Structure 1
Amino acid sequence: MRVLPPAEREAMYAIYAFCREVDDIADDQAGERADRAVALDQWRADIADLYDGGSGGKAAYLSEAVRRFGCLQVDFNAVIDGMAMDVARDIRWPQHRELDLYCDRVASAVGRLSVRVFGMEEQPGLALSHHLGRALQLTNILRDIDEDAAIGRVYLPREAIETAGIRVGDIAKVIDDPRIDQVAQGLAAEARVHFAQAQAILDRRPRGHLIAPRLMAGAYAMLLRRMVAKGWTPPRSRVGHNKLRLAWLLLRLKLSR
């Protein structure tokens, strides 16, 4: 976000703050589900108030992003709906269509808000949001298998788990099965397709401040490649971003603008 011009940067900071707040509600393991659902409903109400011309309550800090860049209410609500999926129940081995819906809400919807700030035209902006959002979220899921399992969640798709011959039920037994690598490799292949589609859009150099999505695409594609090379056979260790490589990537992107 720091590579963006001031107005766009502040708008993205506001959108990011919103995402963090609703994500914290979804991930609050100490809070009761009913209370967390009420907290998300309050965010929906505040967003609605903002778009109806009111103060916006907790959402007031989003007013400039909405006014200046035309961010849509439906996309803010989609992010909340995604967090509500985690509040309603701990997601475990969802059907692929549910996983795709989850990715659209918690990641691609954020992309749809972001591309308006980046100044992209509608068609390439929506396409980039669709593919890059899913690529990033699938990469996060693959990186966080053990961390998610520790709080009772497994986002890997049921169809792939069952095709690998793993019986769903006990979380530890599922993620500790050596065949989970087959499941993860399949999801990684899906993420690579989305990365390729996103890169094809960026390569056409559409209008907009695109160094931020280029950096995200490059950084997370790099992370995915490292995970694929390492594999997901237990025991796993979490793969993180290489800061030196990220700095070099940012430098290259700045020089190629």
Structure 2
Amino acid sequence: MSATASPAPATAETREAALPAAGSSFYTAMRLLPKDRREAMYAVYAFCRSVDDVADDGGPAPVRAAELDRWRADIDALYAGNPAPRVRDLVVPIRRYGLLREDFQAVIDGMAMDAFEDIVAPDEATLDLYCDRVASAVGRLSVRIFGLPEADGIRLAHHEGRALQLTNILRDIDEDAERGRLYLPREKLAAIGLADPTPQSAIAHPRIGEVCLAVAKEAQDHYSETWAIIDRSPRRETKAPRLMAAAYRLYLDAVLKRGWAMPRARVKPSKLALLGVALRHGIL
């Protein structure tokens, strides 16, 4: 796509292509929702998928910057009552569930953090901001669609978003390093003697497990807060976040069980374990 190309209007085919993969925990969680809420979540997912594709695979930096700016403009126009074709699927969810413009813009800002310069050992505050934008902002959109009360919904988005994103970071450290990215926090790396780390020097460091375990402890704390909120909330409104939290916790447990010694095999919970999560939290 050139920097001046007009965005293509959404079609049935492009909307279908943007849906989560069948069998994924996200897909399973969304299938638990009533039709109107499920379609709203798919529209939000399609938006997130589109801006993520710009950040990861959108071409040279000037092209990605221009395209993310167009997304920002499209969100502003959407809230001004003049939606571009590619965001029209968001009109009804925004009106029906009170989705906030700033949360959509936060998602774009989070993708921009990845788009122009590979993130390498961010400080703790920057990592937390990144997690808020790429995960908890999506959570804030989601909990309104799920129907949770405002205060607990926002708290749930805060903690579950960070729990899931930190789990992703720990699961994907080797794959991220191959792309020149390192999301482990600078302060924790400095504590093991890596003052100016590169992705490869960090993941090969003999004490990298100490850093990963510290990040895992933070994720576990966020999971604990997540479940405290879920346990006091109506079950009908928390089926999707319960399933997501339980499924992602399997990934965290798997990387902790595998450990951090090289070579590290990529972990994936068994289909039986994931089925158990789906049955326990999706049906019961």
- State TM-score, norm by structure 2: 0.87
2:158 maps to which residue? Answer: 130
1:63 maps to which residue? Answer: 91
Q: Quick one: which of 219, 243, 250 aligns to 2:247?
A: 219
Superposed, which structure 2 residues align to 1:158-197 within 5 Å? 158-197=186-225
**What is the aligned residue count?**
255
Which amino acid is 1:2 matched to?
R
Q: Quick one: which of 8, 15, 18 aligns to 2:47?
A: 18
- 41-50 or 198-207: which moved more? 198-207
For the 8 Å contact 1:179–1:233, the answer to whether it is kept is no
1:2 matched to 2:31? yes
**What is the rounded CA distance, in whole Å, between the counterparts of 2:49 and 2:269 in structure 1?**
20
1:52 matched to 2:80? yes
Cα offset, 1:109, TM superposition: 0.1
* Stretches of structure 1 lacking an aligned partner (at least 5 in a row): none
* Stretches of structure 2 lacking an aligned partner (at least 5 in a row): 1-29
**What is the rounded CA distance, in whole Å, between the counterparts of 1:225 and 1:169 in structure 2?**
26
- 55-64 or 83-92: which moved more? 55-64
For the 8 Å contact 1:121–1:207, the answer to whether it is kept is no
For the 8 Å contact 1:138–1:188, the answer to whether it is kept is yes
- State TM-score, norm by structure 1: 0.95
For the 8 Å contact 1:48–1:73, the answer to whether it is kept is yes
**What is the rounded CA distance, in whole Å, between the counterparts of 1:22 and 1:16 in structure 2?**
10
For the 8 Å contact 1:43–1:59, the answer to whether it is kept is no
Work out the percentage of aligned pairs sharing the same amino acid.
54
* RMSD across aligned positions (CA): 1.4
2:173 maps to which residue? Answer: 145
